[in-house]
Amino acid sequence: MKFTLPSKLFFAIQALCTFAVLAMGLAAYLSFTHGFLGYLNEQAVQRMQNLVPRFEQAWAQHQNWSYLRESREAWFKLMRPDSAPGSTTPPISDLTGAFLRFTLLDGDRHYLLGYSGVDDHAVLLPITQGQSIVGWLAMTPFETVSATGDSRFQANQIRSSVVIGLLCLCLSAVIAWWITHQLLRPIQRVALATHRLAAGDYGITLPETGNDEAAQLARDFNRMAATLASNEQQRRGFMADISHELRTPLAILRAELEAVEDGIRQMDASTLRSLQGEVMALSKLVDDLFELSLTELGGPAYRRDPVDLGVLLEMAVDAYGLRFAERNIQVQWMPWPQPLLVMGDDAKLSQLLYNLLENSLRYTDAGGKVLLRASRVGNQVLVDCEDSLPGVPSTQQTRLFERFYRVENSRSRSSGGAGLGLAICRGIAQVHGGELSAQASALGGLWITLRLPVMESI
């Protein structure tokens, strides 16, 4: 038999309640039993105290106890529950049968009359005449309930306790069912939603009501489902983008080769250059994909050495100076007067800076301007790269760092590239503990900011 989680919780709560009821019932029974017997013994002692003056008066009249031994009627007359002579207290009714456990002893504590089973645990009260003790009245304490009325009262109490215990168990079962239903309903929803999520239904969501742990679990589940849905969408988009990017150069290569095979084109230097160009495009795409995969894996092969980012920027500006000049694009370089030390891989950081300059070179109109600025703010090194027209709509600026994403306007596919450069830049920045952001530039184009943590002093 398979027990579900609600069944286990219900039986656990019910078992705890049952144990508590039984323990309380046993404790109440023991307490009542001992308390009731104590009460009976107290009543018997008080009865004895009211009888002592009678026995003292009887001794004063007869000067011995012989008449009691000769007449049982006289003994029972003394034991009747009447008020003592001159006493204002009402007589104590003897429904407990305590008088059957009374014993009369002489002054030397020898048995005379009454209950013969008196022992050392008996309660003794002296019977005095002047300064002398002429006898003792003894009462053997109750150890169990013996009288019919007392037994009936005790049985009624036990019966009432059993009924109350059963009612408590029934009530605890209802409460346990309610608690189980209320507590486990969110968990059951999460379990069902998890089953659907594992089956591929990434659109499943849970209601987020309240501020307790169950609501937090629902929020975390919804975030996880949204992340998985986004990852699945990106995976499908990534595969579609790779297929598209590979299809174009391969189609060109195939068409060129078929044209040569059919004799439409001659295998001359021009044809070879065309084929070589498509092969280089494929090689560049594969290299970019490999570089992107390294950055997404966390750059396990990256070195961690002190690097002056200002020196790398200077080298990048010098390397791209001629290409910017050929396109009539003005480059304004604003260095920082002090070293900008960061901890990282100089080759990967150089690649990041080169990609930023390549992006500005490729997507800035001829006759435009590029502003490159380095600075330090607090514990961060900032590199700002701004360019002039064309610009990027604000709705698309946050997507510039996605794989294969390209703005479909002036910064279009006609400018070349597979849309992996900025994605690689973002990956390199993240591996180094930094970040990339994009916004509109005052020059009319795009403003990309690189933030890297400053190297801690050794």
Write down the pLDDT at residue 326. 92
Quote the percentage of the chain above a pLDDT of 90: 21
Q: What's the whole-number mean pLDDT along residues 156-168? A: 76
Out of 233-247, 336-350, 380-394, which region has the weakest mean confidence (pLDDT)? 233-247
Highest mean pLDDT among 45-49, 290-294, 394-398, 428-432: 428-432
- How would CATH label the architecture of 213-296? Orthogonal Bundle (1.10)
Q: Minimal CA–CA distance to 66: which of 123, 135, 119, 127?
A: 135
Express each pLDDT in 323-356 by its tens digit: 999 999 999 999 999 999 999 989 889 989 998 9
Residue 366 has pLDDT above 60, yes or no: yes
Residues of the chain with CATH 3.30.565.10: 305-453
Q: What's the whole-number mean pLDDT along residues 40-44? A: 78
Distance between CA atoms of 203 and 437, rounded to whole angstroms? 30
Residue 51 has pLDDT above 80, yes or no: yes
Write down the pLDDT at residue 421. 78
Higher pLDDT, 380 or 423: 380
Report which DSSP code applies to 321: H
Question: What DSSP string runs through 130-170?
Answer: TTEEEEEEEEPPPSS--SHHHHHHHHHHHHHHHHHHHHHHH
Out of 173-182, 224-233, 307-316, which region has the weakest mean confidence (pLDDT)? 173-182
Residue 99 has pLDDT above 60, yes or no: yes
Give the orientation angle of helix 346-363 with respect to helix 421-431, to 10 degrees. 150
Out of 95-99, 291-295, 324-328, which region has the weakest mean confidence (pLDDT)? 95-99
Express each pLDDT in 118-154 by its tens digit: 877 788 889 888 888 889 988 888 765 454 445 566 6
Q: What's the whole-number mean pLDDT along residues 417-440? A: 85
User: With b meaning 16 or more CB within 10 Å and e meaning fewer, what string describes 1-32?
Assistant: eeeeebeebbeebbeebbeebeeebeeeeeee
Distance between CA atoms of 369 and 389, rounded to whole angstroms? 9
Write down the pLDDT at residue 232. 79
The CA–CA distances, whole Å, from 68 to 58, 117, 218, 418 equal 9, 19, 90, 127
Distance between CA atoms of 214 and 195, rounded to whole angstroms? 18
Residue 274 has pLDDT above 50, yes or no: yes
User: With b meaning 16 or more CB within 10 Å and e meaning fewer, what string describes 224-255?
Assistant: ebeeeeeeeeeeeebeebbeebbeebeebbee
Higher pLDDT, 80 or 359: 359
Write down the pLDDT at residue 82. 60
Provide the CA 29 distance to its chain's centre, in angstroms: 43
> Taking the domain 305-453, which CATH number applies?
3.30.565.10
For residue 98, name the pLDDT band (cuts at 50, 70, 90): low
Q: What's the whole-number mean pLDDT along residues 6-11? A: 69
Residue 184: other Cβ atoms inside 10 A: 18
Residue 86, judged by CB atoms within 10 A of its CB (0-12, 13-18, 19+), counts as exposed
Whole-prediction pTM:
0.48
Higher pLDDT, 195 or 186: 195
Phi, psi for residue 125 in degrees, rounded to 5: -125, 130
Give the orientation angle of helix 269-296 with respect to helix 421-431, to 10 degrees. 30
Contact (Cβ atoms closer than 8 angstroms) between residue 18 and residue 169:
yes
Give the orientation angle of helix 148-198 with respect to helix 213-261, to 10 degrees. 20
In what helix (H) or strand (E) does residue 342 lie, and over which residues does it extend?
strand 341-344
Distance between CA atoms of 423 and 430, rounded to whole angstroms? 11
Residues in the chain, total? 458
Residues of the chain with CATH 1.10.287.130: 213-296
For residue 437, name the pLDDT band (cuts at 50, 70, 90): very high
Distance between CA atoms of 182 and 414, rounded to whole angstroms? 61
CA atoms within 13 A on the CB side of 401: 19
Write down the pLDDT at residue 411. 44
